[in-house]
Structure 1
Amino acid sequence: MRGTDPYVPGHGDGSYGVTHYDLTLSYRPAGNRIDGLAVLACVAHEEVTALSLDLHHLRVAKVSVSRGGAVRSTHRSGAVRVTLSSPIAAGEEFTVTVKYSGSPVPVPSPSLGEAGWEELEDGAIVAAQPHGAPSWFPCNDRPDDKATYSITVSAPQEYHVAVSGELVSSTRGGSTVTWAYEQRSPMATYLATVQIGRYVVRQQPAEVPMRVVIPPDLRGAGFDASFGRQPEMMAFFVDRFGPYPFPSYTVVITDDDLEIPLESQSLSTFGRNFARDDWDAIRLVAHELAHQWFGNAVTLRQWRDIWLHEGFACYAEWLWSEESGGQTAAEWAEHHHQKLSDLPQDLLLGDPGPDLMFDDRVYKRGALTLHALRLRIGEDAFFDVLRAWVARHKGGSVDTADFVSLCDRISGESLIDLFESWLGKAELPSLSA
């Protein structure tokens, strides 16, 4: 088994990859219980005599593998370890099937806190970044191991189920409804999500199909100010970043207040406390939408490159502010550069470590890095870079070296000094062309 990401030790197995997850869940609100069947289509990256799946807290009833003869499995410390009686050759395809059940809870981490399946007052959400996917399905939990997904969830008929994918069917049977979704674009495990609650669906007029999944009583000026302008945001970001990378976009607003929103692939989740008319709410609506390009379509290979997600989404906030008549991106850059200059200079943006990967300085310094790039190479080349970044890497995994190489090619100059000063040194550089 090849090494895993040091930011999330113990997660993932590099000896094989998953190409498709077929997940079937039955959900019961009473006791927050799920019964699941996961079928993973896999390919061996090297000779495989044993493999590991990540699954937290839930009980495994049965594991089977289509190749490798008889299997022996153990489930300890969040890992299902499967030993084969005969090896699977490199390049060979095989299927792993896991039957499991229980009451899912978030996955804890000393550095990263809790992430994953969370029970609400009435329903459930999944907020899995970066290590929470194993809270609800067995997976190869690596951000660079993208796969397509089929996710089917049965729930009581009074509940709506939203999933990060396209709805294929909803079928009523007795007192339940079975919701079937397909995610045909490659997706990292942490971006797979299920949201369950007493919701209604409203369509938003836009060229890209957009919908909000909300409590029935959620309406008014606060909602209109924050979420009502999403179609305008979408059109603006398409102009700046290139075509929207998925077939549709869904926002789920829970009836509970949530501390922070979170993006998943083609779907973002907010608490109802974000339906308000102030910049701190509006900027996060823009931020999560921008992640569909930067983070979801184009995903980091290892978590040390988190700035490639959060810096880009933060800069998108500043771009939207300027477009919508607020402060310009340059004004936001000056503002946050001054704030960062007053804070400790102990963060290495190119490798902040798990304790600091979601520190606000990663977001703001990441956005400032992009603004410094814009000042250096000019307006046209800068937006050419952003569009090319998504066009070339959509559906794939990247690192900072990939981005630097693209910037060099498009600008026609070596930018190693710029990126070394912003990413490779803790001291805050000056903000100049």
Structure 2
Amino acid sequence: MKPADYAFGHGDERFDVTHYSLDLACNVTTNRLTAKAELTCVALADLTDVQLDLHSLKADKVLVDGAAPAKVTHKGARLTVKLAKPVKAGRPFAVSVKYSGKPKPVPGLFGGAGWEELTDGILVSSQPYGAPSWFPCNDRPTNKASYRVAVKYAGSYWASCNGTVVEHVARGGQHQWVFDQPEPMPTYLAALHIGVGVSRPVASGASVPVEIVHPPLVNVGVGSAFERQGEMVTVFEEMFCPYPFGGYRAVVTEDALEIPLEAQGMSIFGANHAAAGWANERLVAHELAHQWFGNSVTVGNWSDIWLHEGFACYAEWLWSEASGGRHAASHAQEHWRRLAALAVPGPLVDPGPARMFDDWIYKRGALTLHALRAEMGEERFFTVLRQWNVRHRFGVVSTDDFIALAEEVAQQKLTALFDAWLFSKKLPAPQ
């Protein structure tokens, strides 16, 4: 399929946003948002207009470099800003948008994504197309930017967002938080939670602080799925490379969630994911692994989603092996048998937008890595994982990039292996 088929109608390839500064005033009770977004941009082509993605919210005032543009049109979820003066390729410019309304999830192939009302709070998880539900953006995974997010609200809630807390003021029932995310982040990894919670540090030997935010009545300590979270960070740092961001925050909501939610520097779980046992422990490991595979090293097109989900799934098996549980080979054998019993609809690379989050993508991706491990041997395989993260830190990658690295480390062509596992519909024999 064409790369545009995976874009969900979002994004403008003609410019990059290099920094987002968001000031959000939230009424949690009425689900009302009044906000201002300041976007620092650079033109990648000569521009007479720019297009931003903004869903269901009203753009009250738009400025470009501090002045009114020639025209603003907001049709559907597309905000088109006609420039008063053209901007040449390579030149910087700034767009300011004041906006307001009642945010709603962005509908799409996988249901609504983005801003969501909880029983008592707000949750925003943007993957893969939900970022326009809460701020105007250039919504494409190839456009990574730094972020500053300020959040104001009334009530005794706790706020969690990407990055480091640089300010928290609580006065007269009002809260203001400011979060700084200096490492580049694609829009789909921007997240926000405002809800009942307390924060506590997690002991670990990791290179960065680790914390967990959770409802007071939900156990996230001894006897929970999060009991060994600090150890997981340490193990993954040894396997993959030092943790790529300034800290890691796990957030547990009061509500049950169907699946955990991925975000940069943080992961979001439902209260139903806290109970001890492998079924939940593997989810904790999976979401943590995305900090390396998906968040620091990000696919440029969703057709290569296996580079996120296959790697995070294999990290579950690596954690199991490292923590005294089942060896990765045992997990591989189990899931190969399960996949062999299914009518798999297509190859791992470019499976089609509607199938990019199918479970077989996760499992076949992990099996591909296990086959590569068997082919290369331990030392070279883990060299590939570490070099993948070191060389492409905060970057955008493709399947071709991974094949090139694996063949460089192996010092031989691996065409037969990758053709069978990545590009063939037929499930190869287990390694």
TM norm structure 1: 0.96
Corresponding residue number in structure 2 for 1:233: 232
SS in 1 for 2:353: coil
Corresponding residue number in structure 2 for 1:250: 249
Corresponding residue number in structure 2 for 1:97: 96
1:312 aligns with 2:341: no
Corresponding residue number in structure 1 for 2:422: 423
Taking the aligned partners of 1:97 and 1:40, their CA distance within structure 2 comes to 6
Deviations 1:260-310 (A, max 9, x none): 001100100000001112211110000000000000010110000100000
Unaligned runs of 5+ in 1: none
Percent identity between the aligned chains?
49
Listed as ranges, the matches of 1:280-319 within 5 Å are: 280-319=279-318
Contact 2:106–2:129 (8 Å) recurs in 1: yes
Taking the aligned partners of 1:257 and 1:375, their CA distance within structure 2 comes to 39
Corresponding residue number in structure 2 for 1:201: 199
Corresponding residue number in structure 2 for 1:214: 214
1:211 alignment partner AA: E
Taking the aligned partners of 1:369 and 1:293, their CA distance within structure 2 comes to 18
Report how far residue 364 of structure 1 moved. Answer: 0.1
Contact 1:245–1:297 (8 Å) recurs in 2: yes
Corresponding residue number in structure 1 for 2:277: 278
Contact 2:220–2:226 (8 Å) recurs in 1: no
Taking the aligned partners of 1:212 and 1:70, their CA distance within structure 2 comes to 44
1:32 aligns with 2:31: yes
TM norm structure 2: 0.97
Taking the aligned partners of 2:56 and 2:99, their CA distance within structure 1 comes to 10
1:142 aligns with 2:125: no
Contact 1:105–1:135 (8 Å) recurs in 2: yes
Contact 2:62–2:68 (8 Å) recurs in 1: no
Corresponding residue number in structure 2 for 1:168: 166
2:349 alignment partner AA: G
Report how far residue 343 of structure 1 moved. Answer: 0.4
2:156 alignment partner AA: E
Corresponding residue number in structure 1 for 2:361: 362
Unaligned runs of 5+ in 2: none
1:263 alignment partner AA: E
Contact 2:165–2:180 (8 Å) recurs in 1: yes
Taking the aligned partners of 2:116 and 2:412, their CA distance within structure 1 comes to 48
Taking the aligned partners of 2:185 and 2:220, their CA distance within structure 1 comes to 34
Deviations 1:222-245 (A, max 9, x none): x63311110111111111111011
Taking the aligned partners of 1:414 and 1:67, their CA distance within structure 2 comes to 54
SS in 2 for 1:62: strand
Q: Which runs of 4+ in 1 moved over 2 A?
A: 67-71, 172-175
Taking the aligned partners of 1:391 and 1:325, their CA distance within structure 2 comes to 27
Number of matched residues?
428
1:387 aligns with 2:386: yes
Report how far residue 84 of structure 1 moved. Answer: 1.5
Corresponding residue number in structure 2 for 1:132: 130
SS in 2 for 1:131: coil
SS in 2 for 1:6: helix
Deviations 1:123-172 (A, max 9, x none): 11111110000010000000010000000000114111111110001123
SS in 2 for 1:419: helix
Report how far residue 102 of structure 1 moved. Answer: 1.0
Taking the aligned partners of 2:232 and 2:111, their CA distance within structure 1 comes to 31
2:163 alignment partner AA: G
Taking the aligned partners of 1:14 and 1:173, their CA distance within structure 2 comes to 43
1:182 to 180, 183, 196: 180
2:72 alignment partner AA: S
CA RMSD in angstroms comes to: 1.5
Corresponding residue number in structure 1 for 2:115: 117
Report how far residue 174 of structure 1 moved. Answer: 3.5
Corresponding residue number in structure 1 for 2:53: 54
- Counterparts in 2 of 1:275 and 1:378: CA distance versus 1, 3 Å: same
Taking the aligned partners of 2:197 and 2:165, their CA distance within structure 1 comes to 15
Report how far residue 220 of structure 1 moved. Answer: 6.8
Corresponding residue number in structure 1 for 2:20: 21
Contact 1:67–1:94 (8 Å) recurs in 2: no
Contact 2:3–2:303 (8 Å) recurs in 1: no
2:328 alignment partner AA: A
SS in 1 for 2:416: helix
Corresponding residue number in structure 1 for 2:399: 400
Report how far residue 173 of structure 1 moved. Answer: 4.3
Report how far residue 420 of structure 1 moved. Answer: 1.4
Corresponding residue number in structure 2 for 1:74: 73
Contact 1:67–1:88 (8 Å) recurs in 2: no
Which stretch of the first structure deviates more once superposed, 37-46 or 226-235? Answer: 226-235
Taking the aligned partners of 2:66 and 2:201, their CA distance within structure 1 comes to 46
1:127 alignment partner AA: S
Contact 1:68–1:88 (8 Å) recurs in 2: no
Taking the aligned partners of 1:329 and 1:17, their CA distance within structure 2 comes to 40
Report how far residue 69 of structure 1 moved. Answer: 7.2
1:158 alignment partner AA: S
Report how far residue 219 of structure 1 moved. Answer: 2.0
1:240 alignment partner AA: M
Contact 1:28–1:156 (8 Å) recurs in 2: yes
1:77 alignment partner AA: G
Contact 2:220–2:227 (8 Å) recurs in 1: no
Contact 2:421–2:428 (8 Å) recurs in 1: yes
Report how far residue 345 of structure 1 moved. Answer: 3.0
Contact 2:214–2:220 (8 Å) recurs in 1: no
